[in-house]
Amino acid sequence: MDYDYQEATEARHTASRRWPVAVGVMAGFVGGALSANLLQLDAKQGVQLVATLPTFQAPSVTLPTPMWSPTPSPETLWAAGQQQCHAGVITPEDAHVSVEVETCDQSYASTVDGATLSFKVSDAWTSATALPSTIERAQTVTADVMLTGWPTELKVEAGGDDGWCYRRISLVHCNQQFDIVPYVKTAPADGPDHLKYWVDANQGVGKSKIFAVPETVCVLPGQQRRCHAGVITPEDAHVSVEIETCDQSYASTSDGATLSFKVSNAWTSATALPSTIERAQTVTADVMLTGWPTELKVEAGGDDGWCYRRISLVHCNQQFDIVPYVKTAPADGPDHLKYWVDANQGVGKSKMFTVPETVCLPRP
């Protein structure tokens, strides 16, 4: 086939989104407009309203143990409602994956024979997913599939003798895009990468092409089995907690302390730390969990208080700072008490902290 390549311009579109905050603003506006109309009507009638409100007795409230939430960075948090959705981690709840394939905008790029897509998951190829039989020049087609695990390869196969040229292939999972074939304006006419943009059953460019699917930064280099930081599985249930004692007066303790986690809205059994913890000493606790925790509780072992200046959780070689390091715990101010536990000094016998969630990003 003698391809007549033509250069074309391409405007990349960004999908617009209507954020839920607009709904909140509308609700407040409607409420405000309703009150104004009622006031205007009353003014015209010359009626003065007198409302007697029922007496409200405030209930007795017991303040909960203070909880501090570290300010997470955008790179370490994934906000997906109550359900965590980790891009690049297939679970029964998050098994839906979309593939976007953008057709080249040049001669002979379209096809009337369609194509199919399939994934290699756990060393086996999935059943082929059919794309439309007719795909126009510059058209983007999408295929939605359900997978049982994160794929390692994607296969694109021509549906017949009418070739197809694509200039971008992307996989989307949990709103995160993984570029398998990064976008090019025009597929090259020759060179080492020429053939990877085409599939055709009879023109010598190859009926199918196989591409590696990007892994994520949660993958440990050199491991056959992937360990996803922040995703607890039976194989990767081991979590370590590191607590660094303050290097200041009264920081040490001879009563020890305990740690426990909230997993699926239930607290785990307490894990004991050493009974004697010296000033500036770092202690470590190893635990096995059944799911990623949402909270960590630190509780004093007795009346001899303890000051810590860093609390970190380590999973799959990735560190999550629950209490970021400070050189010296502050003597006063709003954050003073969060660095201490003590059963009898008014600082609180226990403290609870939010454990950061995670997001898996494509490996650069």
Contacts for 58-64 with beta carbons within 8 Å, 24 or more apart? none
Average pLDDT of span 284-304:
94
Q: Are residues 185 and 255 both part of a single domain?
A: no
Q: Are residues 170 and 238 both part of a single domain?
A: no
Q: Is residue 147, in this structure, part of any structural domain at all?
A: yes
Using a pLDDT cut of 90, give the percent of the chain over it. 52
Residue 272 contacts residue 331 (beta carbons within 8 Å): no
Average pLDDT of span 31-44:
35
Count how many domains the chain has: 2
* pLDDT score of 24: 32
Average pLDDT of span 56-70:
42
Q: Is residue 58, in this structure, part of any structural domain at all?
A: no
Q: Are residues 201 and 284 both part of a single domain?
A: no
Q: Are residues 335 and 238 both part of a single domain?
A: yes
Q: Is residue 187, in this structure, part of any structural domain at all?
A: yes
Q: Are residues 264 and 345 both part of a single domain?
A: yes
Q: Are residues 199 and 236 both part of a single domain?
A: no
Q: Are residues 109 and 199 both part of a single domain?
A: yes
β-pairing, 115-121 with 153-158?
antiparallel
Which of 212, 238, 273 corresponds to the end of one domain? Answer: 212
Q: Is residue 189, in this structure, part of any structural domain at all?
A: yes
Average pLDDT score, the chain: 77
Q: Are residues 232 and 350 both part of a single domain?
A: yes
Summarised one tens digit per residue, pLDDT across range 199-227 is: 999 888 999 999 999 876 544 344 444 56
Domain that holds residue 306: 227-354
Would the pLDDT of 78 be above 50? Answer: no
β-pairing, 306-315 with 115-121?
unpaired
Give me the CATH number covering residue 316: 2.60.60.20
Would the pLDDT of 192 be above 70? Answer: yes
Q: Are residues 300 and 333 both part of a single domain?
A: yes
Burial of residue 94 (number of CB atoms within 10 Å: 0-12, 13-18, 19+): middle
Would the pLDDT of 84 be above 90? Answer: no
List 171's β-bridge partners, or say none: 99, 178
Q: Is residue 279, in this structure, part of any structural domain at all?
A: yes
Q: Is residue 177, in this structure, part of any structural domain at all?
A: yes
Would the pLDDT of 32 be above 70? Answer: no
CA–CA distance from 261 to each of 35, 53, 68, 293 (Å)?
A: 47, 45, 15, 6
Q: Is residue 249, in this structure, part of any structural domain at all?
A: yes
Average pLDDT of span 35-45:
36
